[in-house]
Amino acid sequence: MDGDLNWLEARRSSPEMLARARQILEAVRDGAEVTAAVRGHPLADGRLLGKHVLVRAYLQLTGEGDWPADPELLRRIRMKPVRTLSGVTTVTVLTEPAGCPGDCLFCPTVEHMPKSYLPDEPGARRAVQNGFDPYAQTASRLEALRAIGHPTDKVELLILGGTWSAYPAVYQEWFVRRCLEALNGSASHSLAEAQQANAGAGHRNVGLVVETRPDWVTPEEVRRLRNLGVTKVQIGVQCLDDRILALNRRGHTVAETRAAMRLLRAAGFKIVAHWMPNLLGATLDSDRQDFARLWDDADLRPDEIKIYPCQLLPGTGLEQAWRRGEYQPYTTAELVALLADVKPGIPRYCRVNRVVRDIPSQHVLEGNRRTSLRLDVQAELRRRGRACACIRCREVRARPVAAGELAFDDLVYEAGGALEHFLSYSDAADGLAGYLRLSLPSAGSPETGLDDLQGAALVREVHVYGESLVLGAESKGAAQHAGLGRRLMAEAEARAAAQGSRRVAVIAALGTRRYYQRLGYRLGGTYMIKDLPVGSPGEGGHSPDRGLA
Ligand code: SF4
Ligand SMILES: [Zn+2]
């Protein structure tokens, strides 16, 4: 535990508050319900203690060795458990405002903000407060999370702010290095040093995500992203109709989107597609067909999707089109119906991260203003007797799972020239406890020029649910401790060997390298590599030696 921070927090709470918090914690430890225990121990002036004070008291008591660590107690007194339920805490940071090469009709431009961001969007506000400094943004977010009792040992860094690839290379390196230094709690002389230090840091980086445009994804860019340690790319697909893309001045074609996704997949990245219904020129009908193309087209098939219905914002070209009577936003009811139409068609290997953007409603000129659209869509699906079977809708979250009762599944599909195996374990109620994405490239997969990947099967993602546990802590039944990751890796290696792959390459984030080392992997250029025994490949005819003449 961080002694300095405990001292600082203790100073903010009066001795009376801490004494009362201790009584409440004792009651909760003895089985009392948290809210009831808080009500039963008011302060002298009648006020009730906030949960953050309980967490502070807990950290102080355990940090000073008065009490043994009790993760179960900590879990019960935490304020917003949902944020870390998929095992990882996300820290979002924004790059500083710089011109985006795009000129999209719907995109807002606000002075002193990165293109497409409004200063009062929740994530953006924090960036502004910290002057877009990567170190300050990361450090302040970590402290805020820790102060409310969230484990921050496993951190996914999400770098937002327009088109990452358009920033100068030196800025990108500096930005990532400073974020890592904040995680490491120490300065470094170079990006490589910061990356190395993170493998054993208290806040380990378990994912690095950037967002970019299809026309910026080239083999050189892919190699640069790997050197930075990027593991996941969010890509602005928006629409799969060249006429609509042109009308909205997107500046790229569908062919470029397909090429970009093929290349990202061949390099093992996890791919998050941004899709935008209600663009200028689209109709409810064309949007339904457009969405189906995401899955029908074997070059697309993203791993995750963010649905950002186009919003009519002031100062945009779209506003002018609307004033001329050429554009009409969908109503909330139309949007809910559209999303309820398309969601059941989402394959089980995809995760729907969002169905609406968090734009404060006062900016929206006309059309949907609700940010709780996901709930409306769920209600509509229930009314229709339909369901969404995407990853997010099936995750077990913190529900305890008994490893012995899990069923294994291998969902095979083609995508971007590769044969994808979505390996998963689910419980009897179809709750997803963990999954792995194995990509077996074919002769038709694009060449990345990455030495690590010659003849390799790729593990693009391993995800096991359960709470984001404090290092060394145990949580009864949480999926992360059922050895699921290890079992999934063994299944993947067996399939790779059977298909004739010479090696397995994992796009491992810095902070997960040691995990793979324990499974027999070594660090190649930027991937974790394990050579497979040379032997008789099984049936299947898969040729992993693409590009090796
Ligand atoms: S590429 Fe993205 S940030 Fe740039 S103008 Fe288009 S929507 Fe806005
Ligand atoms: Zn879903």
Q: How confident is the model at residue 474 (pLDDT cuts 50, 70, 90)?
A: very low
Regarding the beta carbon of 115 and ligand 1, being less than 6 Å apart is answered: yes
Domain closes at, from 77, 111, 128: 77
Q: Which residues pair with 407 in a beta bridge?
A: 426
Tell me, what's the pLDDT at 57? 84
Q: Would residue 118 count as lying in a domain?
A: yes
Q: Would residue 506 count as lying in a domain?
A: yes
> Residue 263: phi, psi to the nearest 5?
-65, -45
Residues 154 and 282 in one domain: no
The identity of residue 304, as a single letter, is E
Q: Would residue 358 count as lying in a domain?
A: yes
Report how far ligand 2's centroid is from the alpha carbon of 273 (Å).
15
Residues 138 and 251 in one domain: no
The rounded mean pLDDT for the chain is 86
Q: Residue 198 and residue 512: Cα distance in Å, rounded?
A: 10
Domain closes at, from 394, 420, 447: 394
Q: How confident is the model at residue 471 (pLDDT cuts 50, 70, 90)?
A: very low
Regarding the beta carbon of 357 and ligand 1, being less than 6 Å apart is answered: no
Residue range 202-256, pLDDT digits in tens: 899 999 999 999 999 999 999 999 999 999 999 999 999 999 999 999 999 999 9
Q: Residue 513 and residue 508: Cα distance in Å, rounded?
A: 6
Q: Would residue 28 count as lying in a domain?
A: yes
Residues 6+ away with beta carbon under 8 Å from 549: none
Please report, for the domain that includes residue 311, its CATH number. Answer: 3.30.750.200
Look at 187-201, 242-256, 378-392, 534-548 and tell me which has the smallest mean pLDDT. Answer: 534-548
Regarding the beta carbon of 499 and ligand 1, being less than 6 Å apart is answered: no
| Residue ranges making up the domain that contains 123 | 81-212
**Mean per-residue pLDDT, 36-51:** 79
Tell me, what's the pLDDT at 66? 81
With 0-12 / 13-18 / 19 or more C-beta atoms within 10 angstroms meaning exposed / middle / buried, residue 111 is: exposed
What is the DSSP code (8-state) at residue 56? Answer: H
Residues 304 and 317 in one domain: yes
Residues 194 and 235 in one domain: no
Residues 415 and 350 in one domain: no
Q: Tokens at residue 398, please?
A: 């913190």
Tell me, what's the pLDDT at 99? 64
Residue range 284-334, pLDDT digits in tens: 999 999 999 999 999 999 999 999 999 999 999 999 999 999 999 999 999
Residues 383 and 248 in one domain: yes
Residues 335 and 254 in one domain: yes
Q: How much is the pTM?
A: 0.82
Q: Would residue 27 count as lying in a domain?
A: yes
Residues 367 and 237 in one domain: yes
Residues 346 and 374 in one domain: yes
> Strand (E) positions, 348-471?
351-354, 407-415, 418-426, 432-440, 456-464
Q: How confident is the model at residue 2 (pLDDT cuts 50, 70, 90)?
A: very low
Residues 6+ away with beta carbon under 8 Å from 210: 159, 164, 165, 225, 230, 233, 234
Regarding the beta carbon of 104 and ligand 1, being less than 6 Å apart is answered: yes
Q: Would residue 542 count as lying in a domain?
A: no
Residues 64 and 138 in one domain: no
Please report where in the chains the tokens 């992203």 appear, as a residue: 225
- Per the structure, how many domains does the chain have? 4
- Using the predicted structure, report yes or no on whether residue 465 has a pLDDT greater than 70: yes
Q: Residue 139 and residue 172: Cα distance in Å, rounded?
A: 18
Residue nearest to atom 4 of ligand 1 (CA): 102
According to DSSP, the β-strands at 407-415 and 418-426 are antiparallel
Distance of CA 499 to the CA centre of its chain: 30
Give the angle subtended at the CA of 437 by the CAs of 436 and 441, to the nearest 5°.
Answer: 145
> Which ligand lies nearest to the CA atom of residue 348 in the structure?
2
Please report, for the domain that includes residue 453, its CATH number. Answer: 3.40.630.30
Residues 46 and 173 in one domain: no
Residue range 52-71, pLDDT digits in tens: 788 888 888 887 778 888 77
Q: Would residue 223 count as lying in a domain?
A: no
Regarding the beta carbon of 238 and ligand 1, being less than 6 Å apart is answered: no
Regarding the beta carbon of 237 and ligand 1, being less than 6 Å apart is answered: no
Q: Would residue 539 count as lying in a domain?
A: no
Report how far ligand 2's centroid is from the alpha carbon of 387 (Å).
8
Residues 198 and 85 in one domain: yes
Residue nearest to atom 1 of ligand 1 (CA): 102
Regarding the beta carbon of 100 and ligand 1, being less than 6 Å apart is answered: yes
Domain closes at, from 52, 77, 102: 77
Contact 502, 544 (CB under 8 A): yes
Q: Pick the atom of ligand 1 nearest to 162's CA.
A: 3
> Which ligand lies nearest to the CA atom of residue 118 in the structure?
1
Residue nearest to atom 5 of ligand 1 (CA): 102
